[in-house]
Chains A and B, each alone.
Chain A
Amino acid sequence: MNQLINSILVLLVLTGFMLLSSSRLAACIRAIAIQGVLLGILAIVIQVGQLSVAGVLLPLSSAIVKGFVLPWLLFRAMREADTVREVEPVISYNLSIIAGTAALGVSLWLGHRLTLSNQPPSSLLVPAAFFTSLVGMIVIASRQKALTQVLGYLALENGVYAFGAAVALRLPILVELGILLDVFVGVFVMGIAIFHISREFDHIDTDKLRARTARL
């Protein structure tokens, strides 16, 4: 059982690196989709032994929303904004991978230092959660396309979700549904916003948008 949890967490970390190292938006969206499905499986696997209907349905619905509905919305936004790849990130891909490795080191260190009231099922869970959030922050800070920044935000949320799975075995249903709805609406709104921005300004490059507002 512990092996399965560890394997899922290793895959989670690897999708984080996939998000950091890929210049193609499609690959990044797929990385986020895989993360969503992995987290759904993780939340179910952790509860084995004390499964309830809600305990299965909630992760399942979250996996469906994050693994299939959101990627579909993002792919649509990508098609409509007519962007295939992130052109020039502020931090190069090689540097991003190195930054990711540093983030992994920091997360492992933090994970070992942090004392939690209830022991997480795997010693890797807290570091993996921190790492996923840090990857999200790196992506938000270092990429220029609005779409990639949305992906960073989703990775950040995935990290928080994984941390939730680590500390609180079961969140209240309402809270969890609320978070899922927030994320869904967030991505939906951002998708529309990206479409309108790209139709208005011919691109979704946030750096150029800043230059434009400065001139106005």
Chain B
Amino acid sequence: MSSGSLLPLILAVVLAPLMQAVITRTKSVLAGRIGQPLLQPYRDLWKLLRKGAVYSQTTTWIFQMGPTVGLASVILAMGLVPFGGSPALSGFTGDFVLIAYLMAAGRFFTVVAALDTGSSFEGMGASREVTFSALAEPALFLGLAALVRQTGHLSLSPVLASVSTVTWRHAAPILSLTLAGLIIVFLAENARIPVDDPTTHLELTMIHEVMVLDHSGPDFALIQYGAALKMWLFAAIIIGVAAPWHFGNRWIDLGAALGGMLVLGIATGVIESSMARLRLLRVPQLLLVAIVLSALALAL
């Protein structure tokens, strides 16, 4: 265990919904609309939290547990991710494996909750989610392994701390391949556009959204908040690689990382506005490309 800082966790907990707002706002502006206010996700969460939850009679305690476990696992994982030069709350050898599997545990409970409703649509969504995440996982691990091999550390905080402009200068091909792989994983895991459309409400085409159709009120708020945190987690890792400036002053470093998050949010919005969703059958191909990119980065 190394001494860590609470700062990355606090920033994530406070700012995660804002990143989603930035993406939505970018999409609105590119589509020629004004868009919702940047604080809208917070208001939505507040609104949902004040409502009551409706539970179908066919569901059991598993259905009610899903959102809570999902959020708890993401928050736990968040405690292991450093941000902008501040080390994570906790870190140990091989902690990135725990991060990946905490997320997998959260996903497992969301999937089980979806299956618990007995709805065929939710079963379909669960099946797709699991299929694609099985393909995203090797890409994530190979990418992280490439970073580990490049930096020689086995814990996420020192790995991201030792990626610097110097590393970029002598290993640019490796880092850019890793980054490309991680960005595809980021889009796939967070149900963003080339893989899934977060705004669609047609059950046949949805992946993530369809699984949570039956959750309402506070439960749905937990799910939305968990999704925002998950996106922040992946984005924090990507920004740790892509914006490796260490100025020495932790506040300037933090500012740079926050700026990086803003740029990534806008970039995601631009990708979503300029691309169409892939056909479901083509999604595995995209994820295979991510695996290949990460594997190539590891092999170099």
Contact = CB atoms under 8 A, between A and B. Distances in A.
Interface of A: 3, 6-7, 10, 13-14, 17, 21, 93-94, 97-98, 100-101, 104-105, 108, 124
Contact of B289 (A6, A17, A104): A17
14 contacts: A3-B169, A3-B170, A6-B173, A7-B172, A7-B173, A14-B293, A14-B296, A17-B292, A21-B289, A100-B292, A101-B295, A104-B292, A104-B299, A108-B299
B146 to A, nearest CB: 13
Contacts of B291: 101
Contacts, number: 40
Nearest to B177: A10
B300 interface: yes
A121 B252 CA distance: 40
A111 to B, nearest CB: 11
Contact of B172 (A3, A98, A104): A3
Nearest to A127: B299
Contacts of A3: 169-170, 172-173
Contacts of A108: 299
B296 A97 contact: no
B295 to A, nearest CB: 6
A10 B173 contact: yes
A94 B131 CA distance: 15
Contacts of A100: 292
A17 B284 CA distance: 15
A128 to B, nearest CB: 10
B285 interface: yes
Interface in B248-300: 284-285, 288-289, 291-293, 295-296, 299-300
Given A7-B173, A17-B292, A100-B292, A94 B285 contact: yes
A6 B288 contact: no
A104 B300 contact: no
Contacts of B285: 21, 93-94, 97
